[in-house]
Structure 1
Amino acid sequence: MTRAERAFRVHVPATSANLGPGFDTLGIALAYGDELVVATRPEPGATVTVIGVGEGEVDTDERNLVVRSAAFVFERLGREMPGLNIEARNRIPHGRGMGSSGSAIVSGVMIAAGLLASDPENPLELSEAQIFAFATELEGHPDNVAPALFGGLTIAWTNEQGPRFKRLLVHRGVAPLVLVPTFTMSTEHARSLQPKQVPHEDAVFNVSRSALLIAALTQSPELLLEATEDRLHQNYRGAAMPETRDLIGALRERGHAAVVSGAGPSILVMSNGPAERLAAADLVAEIAPEWQILTLAVDIKGATVEEIPVDSAFSSRG
């Protein structure tokens, strides 16, 4: 081993975007994520070992989204990326609306940030704004990468300077529940189902509910059911995922604040306390037992990267 070899542990949480009315703007980080161990090597290129979700399915070389995202940062900065060995322990379901692609992108950007900051010859510390800008450019929109990077509830927008975000603390009474089906949904297909224009009254409706949702999530969780009403995107996508549409309808009829998680087909239920969340979970177990029920917390840390001893990087590999 050379002195230049380094190793890191990266953790990135799952996310749920939109949250009902906050299309392409609001997102929340969930305490359920992917963990990667990364070590540099003398040889160029990259080798990815995937354990868990995506094992045997995703690319395990330089075509892997994590590697491509890290390489993108190095290329933009005019730096040469070292060879990498990566072990990815994945938990975030793919194609289910829980931010798996955003998590992979954020993982790659965080790997690049760790490598650049620890470069023994020419260290470079990336700013929070730079990291966010790189991840947003790769993902195409900031609503998933903002909570993945920074945790909590995030409001994301763009201006002439680039992507911006505001992180807020979620009220401790908010109890998230994620319902994961066996089927998937393409984000591109989901977006294609939406019209380019919506009625004026629907736009006003969503503006009011988005504002109310911020209050509900940060101060008044008893308002979550009304605050998660939406007329902008969920109805248009319903025909493409009828199981999701019908389960959301059943939950909302019983007073539970259920929405499509991201582009779907998973469902996010934001309950006012553990008792209400348990009631929602019991209802799902009764009427849709094929759905996986994840009882989660809000992740308040966001993405993390820590340097670890090279010799112990893959000591847990079996």
Structure 2
Amino acid sequence: MTSFTVRAPASSANLGPGFDSLGLSVPLYTTLRVTPQEVTEVVPLGPELEGTPADEGNYVYRAMELAAGRARRPLPPARVEIETEVPLARGLGSSAAALVAGIVAGNELLGRPLSDEQVLDVAAREEGHPDNVAPALFGGIVVATLDKLGTHYVRLDPPANLGVTVLIPDFELSTSKARAVLPGEYSRADAVHALSHAALLAAALAQGRLDLLRHAMQDYIHQIWRAPLVPGLSDILEEAHRHGALGAALSGAGPTVLCFHDTRENTERLHRYLHGVMTKNGLTGRVLDLPIDTRGTVVERQQQGSPVKD
């Protein structure tokens, strides 16, 4: 087999009320270059991956082995070079991008015995929820569930004129820490609020009702509990719409915050506001405007000196 490259995008999960079930992909990528050879080599590259294992204990390589395990076949040896643009522990699906890229790479190395649906199921069961891995695999906006019967999903193309602005602080927040602050039980009122708003959000995104996003993205399940871990989050959730945002949410477990914007409008005012929130709270970070990635994970094979994309 010839060498190939796998590129998986970052993702933003939950989008407010869609806890563990709704996400979208953005164009920051984890890239693997895989070359079949006699012995296995794992080569993390770049500052983001400094200190990560350079052997078969690497998370990406373990993900490749998950594909082999589901296919019940041994994984052929290869050189695996890993690079990423996705900041680690920032709520942008860095582990999901690595997991999906690894499973897809392992499946490619084995000759693709697994279907896309099987790849998704392997990833969702390893991650414990499908909200990051589904958009990382398929691109766009994805609503997905995980149960004992399988992983089920609906992919939506992004509505016209919907863009994303992300505030990425310069501090890390582990998913385990962000999950530890969540309560063990919720009231019926909070459950009804979550269900109704998640349904409204999915319907608004499906029909391009950008006017409903601010209302649909309200959440009482996780954001209010995680707000003390992310200085300025409460202010952004309450006030961002006054500065040009269509709606705002904590991205995944945080600390990144996502705002939707109308791509026909200038985002300078929103950027000023978000930078002001960081300054007020003694934080540093980046504010980026991003489109929604619609391709998901892409495989490019080298064939007779020319790349062939799948």
- State the match for 1:29 in structure 2: 25
Q: Quick one: distance in 1 between partners of 2:160 and 2:33?
A: 31
> Would the aligned equivalents of 2:21 and 2:145 in 1 still touch at CA under 8 Å?
yes
- State the match for 1:147 in structure 2: 135
Is the alpha carbon distance of 1:278 and 1:159 closer, same or farther for their aligned partners in structure 2, counting shifts above 3 Å? same
Is the alpha carbon distance of 1:24 and 1:209 closer, same or farther for their aligned partners in structure 2, counting shifts above 3 Å? same
- Structure 1 residue 161 corresponds to structure 2 residue 149: yes
Deviation at 1:244, TM superposition (A): 3.4
Deviation at 1:247, TM superposition (A): 4.0
- State the match for 1:268 in structure 2: 258
Deviates more, 1:280-289 or 1:226-235: 280-289
- State the match for 2:248 in structure 1: 258
- State the match for 2:122 in structure 1: 134
Per the alignment, in what secondary structure is the counterpart of residue 137 of structure 1?
Answer: helix
Equivalent runs, 1:56-67 vs 2, <5 Å: 56-67=50-61
- Structure 1 residue 42 corresponds to structure 2 residue 38: yes
Q: Quick one: distance in 2 between partners of 1:307 and 1:82?
A: 17
Per the alignment, in what secondary structure is the counterpart of residue 288 of structure 1?
Answer: helix
**Normalised TM-score (structure 1):** 0.88
Deviates more, 1:84-93 or 1:260-269: 84-93
Structure 2 residue ranges without an equivalent (≥5): none
Is the alpha carbon distance of 1:192 and 1:112 closer, same or farther for their aligned partners in structure 2, counting shifts above 3 Å? same
The amino acid across from 1:182 in the alignment is D
The alignment of Structure 1 onto Structure 2 pairs a total of residues equal to 301
Is the alpha carbon distance of 1:57 and 1:204 closer, same or farther for their aligned partners in structure 2, counting shifts above 3 Å? same
> Would the aligned equivalents of 1:225 and 1:255 in 2 still touch at CA under 8 Å?
no
**Normalised TM-score (structure 2):** 0.90
Deviation at 1:89, TM superposition (A): 2.3
Q: Quick one: distance in 1 between partners of 2:121 and 2:277?
A: 43
- Structure 1 residue 198 corresponds to structure 2 residue 192: no
Task: Give the RMSD, CA atoms, in angstroms.
Answer: 2.0
Is the alpha carbon distance of 1:312 and 1:46 closer, same or farther for their aligned partners in structure 2, counting shifts above 3 Å? farther
Deviates more, 1:241-250 or 1:29-38: 241-250
Q: Quick one: distance in 1 between partners of 2:186 and 2:244?
A: 27
Is the alpha carbon distance of 1:310 and 1:111 closer, same or farther for their aligned partners in structure 2, counting shifts above 3 Å? farther
Is the alpha carbon distance of 1:21 and 1:242 closer, same or farther for their aligned partners in structure 2, counting shifts above 3 Å? same
Q: 1:223 aligns with which of 207, 212, 221?
A: 212
Deviation at 1:161, TM superposition (A): 1.7
Per the alignment, in what secondary structure is the counterpart of residue 210 of structure 1?
Answer: helix
Q: 2:201 aligns with which of 194, 207, 213?
A: 213
Per the alignment, in what secondary structure is the counterpart of residue 265 of structure 1?
Answer: coil
The amino acid across from 2:10 in the alignment is A
Structure 1 residue ranges without an equivalent (≥5): 118-123, 314-318
Q: Quick one: distance in 2 between partners of 1:196 and 1:276?
A: 42
Is the alpha carbon distance of 1:309 and 1:58 closer, same or farther for their aligned partners in structure 2, counting shifts above 3 Å? farther
Deviation at 1:300, TM superposition (A): 0.7
Q: Quick one: distance in 2 between partners of 1:102 and 1:310?
A: 32
- State the match for 1:283 in structure 2: 273
- State the match for 1:121 in structure 2: none
Deviates more, 1:151-160 or 1:94-103: 151-160
Partner deviation per Cα, 1:217-269 (whole Å, 9 max, x = no partner)? 23211211111111111001112222434444442454631110000000010
